[in-house]
Chain A
Amino acid sequence: GESVGLHLPTLSVQEGDNSIINCAYSNSASDYFIWYKQESGKGPQFIIDIRSNMDKRQGQRVTVLLNKTVKHLSLQIAATQPGDSAVYFCAENGGKLQFGAGTQVVVTP
């Protein structure tokens, strides 16, 4: 079946720099996308969402971009901080919420 596709890469970012986390999805019927952040020993926590009728949405220090043409989703974190170190998951909802494998973000001083 179709699924959100993510390896589990590690993104190493220097404190203060911007981070970009990418996600490829394959279900063209998905109409809603969410980014979650999971810190060590905790459950996933909602960061930001976007509907398929939008291509960009901004939150506090985070921006989600959606490119439906190439089925690509990205999360941008501005001025990355040590507290941003976590695993980030994208999730798509095409009837059932499906999670990608996650990206480990490591913030270095």
Chain B
Amino acid sequence: DAGVIQSPRHEVTEMGQEVTLRCKPISGHDYLFWYRQTMMRGLELLIYFNNNVPIDDSGMPEDRFSAKMPNASFSTLKIQPSEPRDSAVYFCASSFTGANVLTFGAGSRLTVL
């Protein structure tokens, strides 16, 4: 398996633009997580899904953020409109039921100017 695949690896955009980050979890994993990492706040859990259903989105900062998982092999995290304070590395991770260990993707580094 190629692991958790995220795209794009890097994105630079201007304030106000829409940003869409994508994730392909490991095949067979039924949990998917979106994390945000900044120097100030470390790794923060934004939202996680189980069997494509959002379970806990309490970490989503505000209404500008949304996440979907239309099927077991694909998820998106969307920011609209983006702001400079959204600049961070966004990680997707997946795991399967009964396992506590998350496998992380390489991350998407977002810079909002």
B45 touches A42 (CB 8 A): no
A43 touches B43 (CB 8 A): no
Q: How far is the CA of A34 from the CA of B91 in the complex (A)?
A: 18
B100 touches A43 (CB 8 A): no
Contact residues on A (Cβ < 8 Å of other chain), bracket: 10 to 19
A102 touches B42 (CB 8 A): yes
Instruction: Collect the chain A residues with CB atoms within 8 Å of residue B105's CB.
Output: 43
A100 touches B100 (CB 8 A): no
* With known contacts A43-B91, A89-B43, A101-B42, A49–B100 Cβ distance under 8 A: yes
- Which of A11-19, A60-68, A69-77, A91-99 lies on the face that meets chain B? A91-99
The chain A residue sitting closest to B35, CB to CB, is A99
A32 touches B106 (CB 8 A): no
| Interface presence of B113 (CB below 8 A) | no
Contact residues on B (Cβ < 8 Å of other chain), bracket: 10 to 19
| Interface presence of B93 (CB below 8 A) | yes
B100 touches A44 (CB 8 A): no
Partner of B100 from A41, A89, A93, A102 at Cβ < 8 Å: A93
* With known contacts A89-B43, A100-B42, A101-B42, A46–B101 Cβ distance under 8 A: yes
| Interface presence of A45 (CB below 8 A) | yes
Q: Which positions in B face A, CB cutoff 8 Å?
A: 4, 42-43, 45, 56, 91, 93, 100-107
Which 10 A/B pairs are nearest by Cβ-Cβ distance?
A43-B104, A99-B43, A101-B42, A44-B104, A46-B101, A32-B100, A43-B107, A43-B106, A43-B91, A43-B105
